Amino acid sequence: MEKEKFIIQGLGKEKSLSGKIKISGSKNAVLPVMAASVLFEDGIKMTNVPLIKDLDRIKEIYEGLGIKMDKLSNDSYFINTKKVRSGEMDEKASKMMRASIIFAGPILARFGELVFPHPGGCVIGARPIDLFLEGFEKMGATWEHKNEKYYIKVKGKKLKGANIFFKKLISVTATETFIMAGVLAEGKTVLSNVAMEPEIISLIDYLNKCGAKIKGAGTPVLEIKGGDLLKSNGFVYENIPDRIETGSFLILGALCASDLEICNCDPFHLEVLIETLKDSGVNIELGKNYIKVNNKNKENYKTFDIKTHEYPGFPTDLQSPILIYLTQVNGESLVFETIFEGRLNYVDDLIKMGADIKLWDALRATVKGKTYLKGRELDGPDIRTGFAFVIAALVAENESIINNIYYIDRGYENIENRLQAIGANIERVIN
């Protein structure tokens, strides 16, 4: 892992960011489409691909599967799948990125067998894969776990359509995996209690353009008619803007910007955050693909409680940035994390910065504001909290050092240059 860190000079009471910030393509939308390339006879051209470290992991997985990834421009690629083959998922890449599990669906659907290690990624909870294993069994696969790897095989090499009801909980990547598995399975697959995130709708829309038959996008029940390999026929996958990045900059703007325009975004994907911040008193102006925000009313912001929820509820990926917002608002609020049991672990660091937070249990924290944060040395524990620490460091007084920025680079493109452009004093230093 690269030993790089950010050194950030906090804005303290000045709080004077201004200008325009452009949103990158969505990490969570492009990764499943990259996995879906395994379903294609020819390949996929994709644009608005973010330049993030997770792409290096995808390349490593592709190499093991015989897929070529040609860069066409700064943000566009052609994924050539003409020589795709089954194989073992690259161990290092799978252990560094939880989303690697999404490859299991298309690989099993196309080749009927697969070997992979338990996927890794951010340490934000136990992150089991039981939904995946149960679902594959329903579609006719058997699996065993030995030598720390999963060996999955499908009788007759062809998955069978099945009714899969996600009883335990709603999972984004499990929904995506079984959409892709269903596309090449024999017969009909019905998925119930699925996730409805915009990234999933974007995946379904593209697969349908290329020959898939998936009904119900954006609803809790999906019906997939299995068929032949897909063909892109010149259709380009145009990646959607990253709503989590958009939301993080919106929160930063509400706290620290005299005038910020967030461009190339889709405000419709962030309704819950925008409504929450507007009710709190933040000045927000919305356009079709931009959001303008400033902190002029910051002395009068009101508190609110947050409970994370599957889309269209409040995203768990914005839980840490919104908690930092709440440290800057007069009054008390409750933050209730309902998706990942390890996602409030970072609050100790904020307390050390001067925040007044009480952790009742792993899932609930009360935040008392307003507190003045003081810069300090922080270890970014995961992608989202890593970026939340950048926000905390900018809000704070004095200097902060953020270590482990590999995690931030995993999900955010060129973050320091974009922040410098709006006036932030942030520098990348190689140890």
Return residues touching ligand UD1 (CB under 6 A). 28, 31, 98-99, 125-132, 169, 171-174, 316-317, 339-340
- Which of 49, 422 has the CB closer to ligand UD1? 49
- Helix 27-36 to helix 172-184 angle (10° resolution) is 20
- CB of residue 166 vs ligand UD1: minimum separation in angstroms? 9
Please spell the DSSP secondary structure of 387-422, one letter per residue: HHHHHHHHHSBSEEEEE-THHHHHHSTTHHHHHHHT
Angle, vertex CA 111, rays to CA 106 and CA 115, nearest 5: 80
E strand segments, 239-363:
257-263, 283-286, 290-294, 306-307, 331-336, 356-359
Tell me if 378 sits within 8 A of 388, measured CB to CB: no
* Edge-to-edge strands, sheet with 149-154: 113-117, 149-154, 141-146
- Which of 133, 334 has the CB closer to ligand UD1? 133
Residue 365: exposure state from Cβ atoms within 10 A (0-12, 13-18, ≥19): buried
- Which of 80, 177 has the CB closer to ligand UD1? 177
- CB of residue 105 vs ligand UD1: minimum separation in angstroms? 12
- Which of 172, 214 has the CB closer to ligand UD1? 172
Q: Is 265 a catalytic residue?
A: no
- CB of residue 134 vs ligand UD1: minimum separation in angstroms? 8
- CB of residue 256 vs ligand UD1: minimum separation in angstroms? 24
User: Could you say which of 122, 210, 256, 265 is catalytic?
Assistant: 122
- Which of 339, 391 has the CB closer to ligand UD1? 339
- CB of residue 133 vs ligand UD1: minimum separation in angstroms? 8
- Which of 70, 130 has the CB closer to ligand UD1? 130
- Which of 170, 282 has the CB closer to ligand UD1? 170
Q: Where are the alpha helices (H) located in 210-291, listed in sequence order?
A: 243-256, 271-280
Q: Which two tokens stand for residue 320?
A: 């840490």
- CB of residue 102 vs ligand UD1: minimum separation in angstroms? 7
End-to-end Cα distance, the chain: 12
- CB of residue 85 vs ligand UD1: minimum separation in angstroms? 25
Q: Which two tokens stand for residue 141?
A: 């696969």
- CB of residue 86 vs ligand UD1: minimum separation in angstroms? 22
Tell me if 376 sits within 8 A of 400, measured CB to CB: yes
- Which of 128, 187 has the CB closer to ligand UD1? 128
Tell me if 245 sits within 8 A of 23, measured CB to CB: yes
**In terms of residues, how long is the chain?**
431
Q: Where are the alpha helices (H) located in 193-300, listed in sequence order?
A: 198-209, 243-256, 271-280
Collapsing DSSP to helix, strand or coil, 84 comes out as coil
Give backbone dihedrals phi and psi of 293, rounded to 5 degrees, phi first.
-145, 150
> How far apart (Å, rounded) are the C-alpha atoms in residues 389 and 426?
12
Tell me if 163 sits within 8 A of 192, measured CB to CB: yes
Question: Catalytic positions, please?
Answer: 122
